[in-house]
């Protein structure tokens, strides 16, 4: 394989290429590229969230270096819908790409708020495309096809080129009663399928789940019944983007003589974006946190952010008694109307344990019908393939096990070929047999404060080492000949109690004195040599005494 600086020489401009840089082999941070006639089209630009493996990093996104080097040929970014794993990186990466953005009205409303936070509202141009709209970008003819999902205005993209048509599904399901927005346009899917589809690039999230994912309308009925069981405060934690769930929670409140309040900034933003675009018109305005705090317990329903255990979200602050307005106590109830995103199990468990300590009853999808997925289960995937009848299936939006199972399902649905690819794979879709023809780098960037760091870079690696192995710092005060003129000053973070007279510190001082004393006089005059000998001595003692290899730093001060 060649590198991404050389490989364009082996790609024909008349080949239709697919290149995922995020979201293939993982769930989250989607970034998809389609190439034809020297031009590139980007579909989605999302994030995922950090975990314990990347300390200090809360948001993770694809490294766009490959397409950044070719941004003069990047003709646009098309967003399929407004979930974070599809639009969340735009505000961080747009300055590196500077391309036009295309989205439906609701997605544009959500994104504009994000761009304003980053000071990009005047620079990043968004062109709104109507539902079922058609438009052209360079050699690509695009058509939006309305689907259903757990957010308004999810779209598949029919991408037409002289080399063939691709259906890029985005995230979707077939919900016969989605409550917010229209049902999926299955007639359009059948029409595109009849025209001939070269490849379907599709969602794999629920490929292991039999049957269908279920309808939002059924969740509403269940929530109405469930809220009616309680006489004190009820809180519902859900994904802020699930506008239908917000509407259902408001309906459950009204049916039980309660008023619904929004607790959390992202919920208020989503409510604003929804109402801007004609959603929630029949739902009374939600109460503020302050107004909700003054209502009797049996007259309020709290809609809270933090269903994934996020430490700074509203529900976590309520659970730990640090929220400025809302309190939950003995006899109250919290309904987690959401699924557990893989990787968040521990954080959610800690949050639920804290709520239980307060005497709050916790209800989840494990013991009550309070959530349906926004992604297609196996019967829905089979129905999609029956409509579209592609020549090749390329599963995305899933971990490797999901992709492999999705490819098998596609073959069972009589799709002639399927390809399992991961981030960085350059796929030639046509002409000829679809195949992986190259590989390009596809790293990750982490948001560290207000800067982006490569997750494979030195800073993050050292931070990971410090978390698991601690850090040691020694300051050596020496004369011009390199002889110690004071006791080494040693600090060992995360391994030795700074308040105690730990014998390990004495061992370190002795090892440093011995190591410097054994150096040839000429070498002791070289600060670099002194640092290296001292570092080796410190690491040897800590490995022998504590079984650890900490990040080690040596300061040499000559007087």
Respond yes or no on whether the N-terminal peptide bond of residue 481 is cis (omega within 30° of 0): no
Q: What is the maximum span of the chain, computed from C-alpha positions, in angstroms?
A: 87
- Count of alpha carbons within 13 Å of 461, Cβ hemisphere only? 4
Which residues belong to CATH 3.10.20.580 in the chain? Answer: 458-558
The answer to whether the beta carbons of residues 171 and 374 sit under 8 Å apart is yes
pLDDT band, residue 341 (cuts 50/70/90): confident
Residue 3: pLDDT over 50: no
Instruction: Read off the tokens for 390.
Output: 């592609």
What would the DSSP string read from start to end of 359-396? T-EEE-TTTS-----SS--HHHHHHHHHHH--SEEEEE
- The pLDDT score that the predictor gives to residue 144 is 98
Measured CA to CA, the distance from residue 128 to residue 125 in angstroms comes to: 10
Q: What CATH code is assigned to 216-363?
A: 3.40.50.10710
CA angle, 60 as apex, 51 and 438 as ends, to 5°? Answer: 120
Pairing label, strands 398-399, 392-396:
unpaired
- The pLDDT score that the predictor gives to residue 13 is 76
Return the residue matching tokens 């993982």.
Answer: 26
Within 8 A by CB and 6+ apart from 233, the residues are 297, 298, 300, 302, 328, 332, 333
Average pLDDT over every residue of 502-518 = 90
Measured CA to CA, the distance from residue 380 to residue 169 in angstroms comes to: 12
Average pLDDT over every residue of 226-231 = 97
The H or E element containing residue 34 is strand 31-36
Of the chain, the percentage scoring pLDDT greater than 90 comes to 80
* DSSP 8-state assignment for residue 338: S
Residue 28: pLDDT over 60: yes
Measured CA to CA, the distance from residue 340 to residue 309 in angstroms comes to: 10
Instruction: Read off the tokens for 525.
Output: 């005059």
Write out pLDDT tens, residues 43-64: 999 998 776 677 677 889 999 9
CA angle, 531 as apex, 525 and 534 as ends, to 5°? Answer: 110
Average pLDDT over every residue of 125-137 = 97
User: CA gyration radius for the chain?
Assistant: 28
The H or E element containing residue 249 is helix 243-255
Q: What are phi and psi of 58, to 5 degrees?
A: -95, -30
Measured CA to CA, the distance from residue 309 to residue 318 in angstroms comes to: 12
Average pLDDT over every residue of 340-368 = 93
Q: What are phi and psi of 556, to 5 degrees?
A: -110, 125
Instruction: Read off the tokens for 251.
Output: 């309906």
Average pLDDT over every residue of 318-337 = 97
The H or E element containing residue 529 is helix 527-546
- The pLDDT score that the predictor gives to residue 12 is 67
Query: What count of other Cβ atoms lies within 10 Å of the Cβ of residue 517?
Result: 10
Q: What CATH code is assigned to 458-558?
A: 3.10.20.580
Which residues belong to CATH 3.40.50.10710 in the chain? Answer: 216-363
Write out pLDDT tens, residues 516-558: 999 998 898 999 999 999 999 999 999 998 888 888 999 999 8
Is residue 304 packed enough to be buried (19+ CB in 10 Å), middle (13-18) or exposed (0-12)?
A: buried
Measured CA to CA, the distance from residue 12 to residue 25 in angstroms comes to: 26
- What strands lie across the sheet with 361-363, from one edge to the other? 259-263, 300-304, 234-237, 333-336, 361-363
Instruction: Read off the tokens for 157.
Output: 């993209």
Measured CA to CA, the distance from residue 226 to residue 253 in angstroms comes to: 11
The answer to whether the beta carbons of residues 108 and 126 sit under 8 Å apart is yes
CATH topology of domain 7-211+373-450: Metallo-beta-lactamase; Chain A (3.60.15)
Which residues belong to CATH 3.60.15.10 in the chain? Answer: 7-211+373-450
Partners of residue 181 on adjacent β-strands: none
Return the residue matching tokens 């259902």.
Answer: 248
- The pLDDT score that the predictor gives to residue 165 is 98
pTM exceeds 0.95, yes or no = no
- The pLDDT score that the predictor gives to residue 482 is 87
Q: Which of 49-63, 235-249, 298-312 is predicted with the least confidence, judged by mean pLDDT?
A: 49-63
């Amino acid at each position: 394989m060649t590198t991404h600086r050389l490989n364009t020489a082996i790609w024909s401009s008349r080949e239709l290429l697919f290149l995922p840089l995020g979201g293939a082999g993982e769930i989250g941070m989607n970034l998809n590229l389609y190439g034809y006639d020297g031009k590139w089209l980007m579909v989605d630009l999302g994030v995922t969230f950090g975990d314990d493996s990347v300390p200090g990093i809360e948001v993770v996104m694809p490294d766009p270096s490959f397409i950044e080097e070719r941004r003069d040929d990047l003709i646009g970014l098309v967003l399929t819908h407004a979930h974070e794993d599809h639009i969340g990186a735009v505000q961080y990466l747009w300055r590196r790409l500077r391309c036009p953005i295309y989205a439906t009205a609701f997605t544009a409303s959500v994104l504009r708020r994000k761009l304003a936070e980053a000071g990009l509202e005047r620079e990043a141009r968004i062109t709104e495309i109507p539902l079922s709209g058609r438009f052209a970008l360079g050699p690509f003819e695009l058509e939006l096809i309305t689907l259903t999902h757990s957010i308004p205005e999810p779209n598949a993209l029919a991408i037409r080129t002289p080399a063939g048509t691709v259906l890029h599904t985005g995230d979707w399901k077939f919900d016969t009663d989605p409550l917010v927005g229209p049902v999926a346009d299955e007639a359009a899917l059948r029409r595109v399928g009849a025209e001939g589809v070269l490849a379907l690039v599709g969602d794999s999230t629920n490929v292991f789940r039999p049957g269908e994912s279920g309808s939002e309308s059924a969740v509403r009925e269940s929530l109405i019944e469930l809220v009616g069981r309680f006489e004190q405060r009820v809180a519902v934690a859900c994904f802020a983007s699930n506008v239908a769930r917000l509407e259902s929670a408001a309906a459950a409140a009204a049916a039980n003589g309660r008023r619904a309040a929004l607790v959390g900034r992202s919920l208020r933003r989503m409510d604003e974006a929804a109402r801007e675009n004609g959603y929630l018109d029949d739902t009374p305005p939600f109460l503020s946190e302050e107004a909700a705090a003054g209502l009797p317990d049996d007259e309020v329903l709290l809609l809270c952010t933090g269903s994934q255990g996020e430490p700074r979200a509203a529900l976590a602050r309520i659970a730990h008694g640090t929220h400025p307005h809302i309190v939950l106590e003995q006899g109250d109830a919290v309904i987690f109307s959401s699924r557990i995103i893989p990787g968040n199990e521990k954080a959610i468990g800690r949050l639920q344990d804290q709520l239980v300590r307060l005497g709050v009853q916790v209800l989840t999808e494990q013991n009550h019908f309070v959530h349906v997925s926004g992604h297609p289960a196996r019967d829905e995937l089979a129905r999609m393939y029956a409509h579209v009848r592609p020549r090749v299936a390329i599963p995305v939006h899933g971990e490797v096990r999901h992709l492999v199972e999705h490819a098998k399902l596609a073959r069972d649905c009589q799709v002639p070929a399927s390809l399992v690819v991961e981030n960085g794979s350059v796929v030639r879709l046509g002409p000829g047999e679809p195949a992986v023809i190259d590989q390009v780098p596809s790293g990750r960037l982490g948001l560290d404060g207000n800067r982006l760091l490569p997750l494979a870079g030195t800073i993050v690696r050292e931070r990971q080492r410090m978390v698991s192995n601690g850090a040691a710092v020694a300051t050596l005060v020496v004369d011009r000949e390199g002889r110690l003129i004071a006791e080494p000053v040693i600090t060992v973070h995360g391994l030795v109690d700074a308040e105690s007279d730990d014998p390990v510190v004495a061992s370190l001082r002795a090892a440093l004195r011995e190591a410097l004393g054994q150096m040839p006089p000429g070498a002791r005059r070289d600060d670099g040599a002194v640092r290296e000998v001292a570092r080796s001595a410190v690491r040897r003692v800590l490995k022998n005494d504590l079984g650890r290899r900490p990040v080690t730093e040596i300061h040499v001060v000559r007087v």
